[in-house]
Structure 1
Amino acid sequence: MLRIGLLTSAAAIAGLGLAAPAAADEGMWTFDGFPAAKMRAEYGWAPDQAWLDRVQGAAVRLTGGCSASFVSNSGLILTNHHCIASCLFDNSSDANDYLDRGFISDRREMELKCPGQQAEVVTKITDVTSDVKGAFGNFTGEALTKARDAKIAEIEKANCTDLATTRCQVVTLFGGGQYKLYTYRKYSDVRLVWAPEDRAATFGGDPDNFNFPRYSMDASFLRAYENGKPISTPNHLKWNPRPPKEGEVTFVVGNPGSTSRLWTGSQIAFEREVRLPTTLATMSELRGRLIRAMDESPQHEREGLDTLNGIENSLKVYIGRTKALNDPAFTGQLAANETALKTQSANNPAVGDPWTTVDGAVAEYRKLYLPARFLQPSSDLYGYAQTLVYAAQERDKPNGERLPGFTDSALPLTEKRLLDERPIYPWLDELTLEWSLSKAREYLGADDPDTKLLLGKASPEGLAKSLVEGSKLADPAVRKALWDGGMKAVRASDDPMIVYALRLADRQRELKKATDAAYSGPLAIAGSQLADARFAAYGDTLYPDATFTLRISYGKVAGWTERGNQVPYQTTMGGTFDRATGNAPYDVAPAFAARKNRIDPAATYDFVTTNDIIGGNSGSPVIDRAGTVIGAAFDGNIHSLGGNYGYDGTLNRTVVVSTDAVQEALEKIYPAPALVKELAAK
């Protein structure tokens, strides 16, 4: 499951592109900056603007953190199974476990709403760099971040007056070198259409995650609705249920979440020395606590599965990142690339010395990181409470003075996520809250003022229990009343979770203010200078770090050489049964086992390409030269676990579920004749 991404091997160094022009197949390119000339030189062909426009209009961003695409004229959306697992989970019960058994809608009126989900399509990209930077003036620190955020809020509000159907988002690129306004057509009613059994998508479990060969049906279908009816999407991608061809060109179009390829040495050091070790240690303990609790009952096992899958996937990613940043050859090349850029920028007075600025900002951030991290308790109920408190406080302010997430352009999605109905399991919420409070005490110390603010005289166990058991925020009607009632209702509330969120809010704001002054503000200026240095040294044919906004990468279908052996570019459906052992996680999904004789064993199941992707690209359509969909990206191989910091085309691979396999599933394993007909329609 590709939720976050990254590079581990010293052999991967040759292709690293930190600060340098992109190597072959490297790059998560913006649609307004696609390197057609570069691709044409490498492949002898590149898409024209009409091709790019068609694809952009069919690409979908799912606000749950994934990518997708329209594949019919009636709002049908292709994405990954792991991208909609929470929707299956939220619609399940002990009597009807959709996550375990899968879901097939025979009729559209049976399609299930996905809580908190929104589908978004980019309709316009506008460069607003001069407007945003023009607001900086002579400001520094916190004053600069306030001026910047106010200008961004102003731009977003001015360009999106119909908040029911549009969303505007100003995106920071190149660390502050550019600012782009992305305008989206949004659809806030997203429903589940079809999903296979969980074991079909997770065959091989954690051992096979970020590995290849793979045998995973990590595909599902959603549908976008508006005013209670499926939307019309004439500009959709053609479904093409065929096997891939070795060496053919492929494009991955989606929303890669976040990369750190343009970071400086001090930022990399902070990641290696502080953030990653803290994350690995605390998350490993959470995994252990959760597994123990899930063993208590079948009900706990079902209710904790989606959370456990996410934790295990993230742990594998962070372990890969840690290995990458502890590889001296790997980090040595990162340092060499940075030195080369410094040398080329030494005689450019316009650049100045942003590296010293970043070093100082990171040094200050080291003092703030642990308090800022641990003063954010982990709990769904607490998350609701914090949102209600912050929304009440922020909505009383002018739009330009509000925190990000609470401006006029952002409020509709914030409200949707807050009010959509979904199940809350008290034992699970109590477990995560207790864990986060205990880790705060451990890392900050029992005598730290922030620990005392978090706990008072209570224990993590006692406080978590009393907060969760006493709160009524699991009821969306209670949340709506507090949302509608604003600050007066919030202050009058005796819900213990609301009272607790109010208790922490002032200190959280104080820490944000300090971080803006010491870290975010200086980085806004330094980031712009570093971008100028790169443009001056290497030209403007560069791609920015990922920002969970629409990107396109190009590559080809290809295996790779592993320890002297050639790894094939594809697997087949029949290979599933050869790999099966009968023991979890290599137990074949029941529907697969029952219909083994109907499945074409030679049908391509999963395949790999050289496309450059990262977490957030999950569900991205894999598109051929003709602009048709031949798969959905769902993972990377183990070598891609350093892709957060660099890319190597000889080893990094995108793992794709083939439309050839999905068609087999739709026709023979999880029959959905209406869906098959819809996909085949002209």
Structure 2
Amino acid sequence: MKKIFLSMIVCIFMMPTSSKANEGMWFLMFIDRLNHRDMQKMGLQLTAEEIYSINNNSLKDAIVQFNGGCTASIISNQGLVLTNHHCGYDAIAELSTEEKNLLKNGFWAKNFEEELKPESLYVRFFVRMDDVSERILSKVNDSMTEKDREAAINKEIALIEQENNEGGKYTVSVRSFFQGNEFYYFVYEDYKDVRLVGTPTESIGKFGGDTDNWEWPRHTGDFSLFRVYTDKDGNAANYSKENIPMKPKKHLAVNLEGVKENDFAMILGYPGRTNRWMPAEGIAQNVNYAYPAWVEASKTSMDAMKKHMNKSEDVNLKYASDYAGIANYWKNRQGMIDALTKHKTADKKRALEKKFERWANKKANRAEYGNVIKDINNYYALTNDKSRHDNYLIGILRGSNFAVSPLRIGRNLQYYIEQNKAKREEIRPRIQGLIDETFKNAYMPLEKDVLAAQLKLYVEKAGYELPELVKQISAETNNDFDSYVDAIFELSLFTSKERLEAFLQYPNKALLENDPLFLLSSVLIARYREQPEAIAEAKEAYDKAYRKLVKGLRESKLSKIQYPDANSTLRLTYGKVVALPKDDRNDAKINNYTTMKGMIAKYKPNDDEFDLPTEILDLYKKKDFGQYADKQGYMPVNFLTNNDITGGNSGSPVLNGKGELIGLAFDGNIEAMAGDVIFDDQLQRTINVDIRYVLWLVDKLSGAENIVKELTIKK
């Protein structure tokens, strides 16, 4: 035991002194004031104006939000877009068929004409932002109810959006920050003609699968390439054969020099959501009630889906994206439970809140802040059981398309029935579109199994008052939900495209309102939206208290956080290339990168997660790495930085001090899974695809030299 303890002490003192990560997801407009000097000390060679400028081209003009959920970058003067493979997954799957499976086998367009247009895909360019806190907060006061406050804010937001959209050219979004204590508006321009240029095989893009997800060492080629098209005048336009490749204001140069320990690294992107201000009892609720239910419900869906996906390539294609999304959050939520428990995050927050209460109850602060913690804790105490229930219920609604679509389509049909003939003809195409969307990728045996399994889990585990209809079904069937779901799928309008289309011809109100799947969908969604009166009252007090908690923590200086939580707005995070402690699973000399040698060591022929194309094995044997090999001779694959990122940063460019592209962010490490709630400055890491591996796959493995020729490459 003594030897182990001494070894731990040695490891702590031998860890790099630079391993402390730079916490923060920063607004670009404040980089000059808050961060620029610190970034320069770490290795930044750009001015703040070169990163964010309204009047001149800057780095922000090369960063896009990809299809509303990821980040991407422009990497050529012909509108070439680089993002993660998992970000392009939906589009790639949509363009795939059993006969031409692009998702499985990869795809590389040799010219513009071969590039493929998915049905719905867009990128969003950031134009500018500004602070409107004073303007909006002047419209509210402390005597308002939360509902009245929200109405006043929304009214002013509508005016701001109207004033800045330039007749509809731009999308304007006004967002709340610091829990409603500040407001900023963001101006964007959307480009909707985006086409697939290239993607590696799924075995490369998802190498390691669920086993390696959130893990290090990693060996994943998680990237895909698209292109933005404009009309002939360079304007955003809907798809047309006449459109031309975009001529962007700015594109990123690619640097092939490689990375080493302590190199500066910054990431620009659209992080989705963090909760760094979350109260202690909110964390405890997630760990003890919400997340365990989420994890169990997700695994239930995954097991039911995989049974069918493994039997059919067509079904696998149809559900690949849905399954990947559920699997990702399944592992994420379990990792959150483990990390938040291990780090005793709720206890640390409670300690901070005790300090806050002492400050809040000083005579000068008591009137505004005295009840803050009490109101917050009261709300969580009232909602713990409901939180668990709601997450089991979400498992049904998220896992089964036919738990949600009957209500969505049914509400439209109710309106349709009440209209005259002319109005029905007007709204019929919209309803037909909903029907087509529902059945486009539906495989009924899978849908039935998921719904039955989720209903059974919900009844057994929710631990909360169930809807009357669900209790009745449970009692009458003795929880035989397989037989029940089989029966209602046979009877329902909503499980047959043909029956729904016939209903449009001959609508029948009684038939609709007595449809068993419509009734089930209605009660499940109604229960999810339901808020008992006691909880509604507590929520009113909670919303005010949470806003005051954040305001008070900033005012008292008890919190050192200077940046707002992530909410899918453009942010910059900066840090360095930093190793984790030595890991025998990694062949690299320093545990801040991985090599192709390590990837080949993981290779398992015909395995779902660790298979590789034979071409990679052949090129590896020949050591045919071209200009993409590291100076030491190995072929790099992934590397680590200590940047502060979260979901939504997937696909974000990793840049060196000159603003050149060195990698592509795609994951975090499971040791720091609590990072969305509390930042760990020792363990926080971002896992990145080395840009040299990306270009080796494009050039040497796939022979897409036409793509490499587009790039501005620095060596």
Query: What TM-score, normalized to structure 2?
Result: 0.78
3-state SS in 2 of match to 1:169: strand
CA contact (8 A) 2:253 2:713 kept: no
Match 1:89 to one of 78, 87, 93: 93
User: Which residue does the alignment assign to 1:268?
Assistant: 283
CA distance in structure 2 between the partners assigned to 1:490 and 1:145 by the alignment: 37
User: Which residue does the alignment assign to 2:625?
Assistant: 599
The residue type equivalent to 2:51 in the other structure is L
Once the two structures are superposed, the pairs formed by residues 371-390 of structure 1 within 5 Å of their partners are 372-373=390-391, 374=393, 377-378=397-398, 379-380=400-401, 383-384=404-405, 386=407
CA contact (8 A) 2:339 2:671 kept: no
CA contact (8 A) 1:371 1:444 kept: yes
Match 2:347 to one of 303, 327, 332: 332
Match 1:190 to one of 181, 194, 201: 194
Residues 372 and 308 from structure 1, CA distance in 2 versus in 1: closer, same or farther, beyond 3 angstroms?
Answer: closer
The residue type equivalent to 1:270 in the other structure is Q
Per-residue CA deviations over 1:3-32 (Å, capped at 9, x if unaligned) read: xxxxxxxxxx9xxxxxxxxx7511111223
User: Which residue does the alignment assign to 2:246?
Assistant: 231
Match 1:437 to one of 455, 478, 499: 455
What RMSD over aligned residues (CA atoms) do the two structures have, in Å? 4.2
User: Which residue does the alignment assign to 1:160?
Assistant: 165
User: Which residue does the alignment assign to 1:354?
Assistant: 372
CA contact (8 A) 2:194 2:228 kept: yes
Q: Are 1:586 and 2:586 an aligned pair?
A: no
CA distance in structure 1 between the partners assigned to 2:388 and 2:601 by the alignment: 48
Shift of 1:220: 0.8
CA distance in structure 2 between the partners assigned to 1:515 and 1:120 by the alignment: 42
CA contact (8 A) 1:39 1:46 kept: no
Give unpaired runs (5+ residues) of structure 2. 1-11, 13-19, 53-57, 230-236, 416-429
Shift of 1:580: 2.5
CA contact (8 A) 2:268 2:652 kept: yes
Residues 445 and 187 from structure 1, CA distance in 2 versus in 1: closer, same or farther, beyond 3 angstroms?
Answer: same
User: Which residue does the alignment assign to 1:615?
Assistant: 647
The residue type equivalent to 1:214 in the other structure is R
User: Which residue does the alignment assign to 2:573?
Assistant: 553
Residues 537 and 234 from structure 1, CA distance in 2 versus in 1: closer, same or farther, beyond 3 angstroms?
Answer: same
CA distance in structure 2 between the partners assigned to 1:206 and 1:88 by the alignment: 19
The residue type equivalent to 1:94 in the other structure is E
User: Which residue does the alignment assign to 2:387?
Assistant: 369
Shift of 1:275: 0.4
Per-residue CA deviations over 1:614-644 (Å, capped at 9, x if unaligned) read: 1211101101111111111011122221212
Pick 1 or 2: higher relative contact order, CA cutoff 8 A, min separation 6.
1
The residue type equivalent to 1:52 in the other structure is I
Give unpaired runs (5+ residues) of structure 1. 1-12, 14-22, 395-411
User: Which residue does the alignment assign to 2:35?
Assistant: 36
Q: Which moved more, 1:188-197 or 1:425-434?
A: 425-434
Shift of 1:219: 0.9
CA contact (8 A) 2:577 2:592 kept: yes
Match 1:676 to one of 679, 699, 708: 708
Q: Which moved more, 1:143-152 or 1:120-129?
A: 143-152
Shift of 1:427: 3.4
Q: Which moved more, 1:644-653 or 1:38-47?
A: 38-47
Q: Which moved more, 1:640-649 or 1:307-316?
A: 307-316
Shift of 1:252: 1.0
CA distance in structure 1 between the partners assigned to 2:510 and 2:698 by the alignment: 52
CA distance in structure 1 between the partners assigned to 2:538 and 2:121 by the alignment: 32
CA contact (8 A) 1:444 1:450 kept: no
CA distance in structure 2 between the partners assigned to 1:646 and 1:235 by the alignment: 35
CA distance in structure 2 between the partners assigned to 1:515 and 1:248 by the alignment: 54
CA distance in structure 2 between the partners assigned to 1:176 and 1:392 by the alignment: 38
Residues 662 and 213 from structure 1, CA distance in 2 versus in 1: closer, same or farther, beyond 3 angstroms?
Answer: same
CA distance in structure 1 between the partners assigned to 2:438 and 2:497 by the alignment: 10
Per-residue CA deviations over 1:89-143 (Å, capped at 9, x if unaligned) read: 2222222221111111223233233344331122122323344444444332545
CA distance in structure 1 between the partners assigned to 2:520 and 2:121 by the alignment: 25
CA contact (8 A) 1:556 1:610 kept: yes
Per-residue CA deviations over 1:48-107 (Å, capped at 9, x if unaligned) read: 331222122221112352111111223221110111112222222222221111111223
CA distance in structure 2 between the partners assigned to 1:274 and 1:446 by the alignment: 12
CA contact (8 A) 1:620 1:632 kept: yes
CA distance in structure 1 between the partners assigned to 2:138 and 2:702 by the alignment: 56
User: Which residue does the alignment assign to 2:673?
Assistant: 641
3-state SS in 1 of match to 2:330: helix
3-state SS in 2 of match to 1:82: coil
CA contact (8 A) 1:115 1:420 kept: no
CA distance in structure 2 between the partners assigned to 1:491 and 1:61 by the alignment: 46
Q: Are 1:425 and 2:443 an aligned pair?
A: yes
CA distance in structure 2 between the partners assigned to 1:152 and 1:279 by the alignment: 34
Once the two structures are superposed, the pairs formed by residues 361-510 of structure 1 within 5 Å of their partners are 361-366=379-384, 368-369=386-387, 372-373=390-391, 374=393, 377-378=397-398, 379-380=400-401, 383-384=404-405, 386=407, 423-444=441-462, 448-449=466-467, 451-452=469-470, 460-461=481-482, 464-465=485-486, 499-500=518-519, 503-504=522-523, 507=526
CA contact (8 A) 2:124 2:189 kept: yes
The residue type equivalent to 2:456 in the other structure is S
Q: In the comparison of the two structures, how many residue pairs are matched?
A: 639
CA contact (8 A) 2:39 2:574 kept: no
Per-residue CA deviations over 1:191-217 (Å, capped at 9, x if unaligned) read: 221110111122222232222222111
Residues 140 and 435 from structure 1, CA distance in 2 versus in 1: closer, same or farther, beyond 3 angstroms?
Answer: farther
User: Which residue does the alignment assign to 2:554?
Assistant: 535
CA contact (8 A) 1:429 1:468 kept: no
CA distance in structure 1 between the partners assigned to 2:495 and 2:75 by the alignment: 38
CA contact (8 A) 2:115 2:197 kept: yes
Residues 544 and 318 from structure 1, CA distance in 2 versus in 1: closer, same or farther, beyond 3 angstroms?
Answer: same
The residue type equivalent to 1:599 in the other structure is F
Once the two structures are superposed, the pairs formed by residues 132-143 of structure 1 within 5 Å of their partners are 132-137=136-141, 138-143=143-148
Q: Are 1:577 and 2:600 an aligned pair?
A: yes
Per-residue CA deviations over 1:584-603 (Å, capped at 9, x if unaligned) read: 23322344234433335623
Q: Kindly name which structure, 1 or 2, has the bigger radius of gyration based on alpha carbons.
A: 2
Shift of 1:384: 4.8
CA contact (8 A) 1:612 1:654 kept: yes
Shift of 1:323: 1.0
Shift of 1:221: 0.9
Q: Are 1:257 and 2:281 an aligned pair?
A: no
The residue type equivalent to 1:556 in the other structure is K
Shift of 1:519: 5.7
CA distance in structure 1 between the partners assigned to 2:288 and 2:525 by the alignment: 29
Once the two structures are superposed, the pairs formed by residues 3-42 of structure 1 within 5 Å of their partners are 25-34=22-31, 35-36=34-35, 39-40=38-39
3-state SS in 1 of match to 2:674: coil
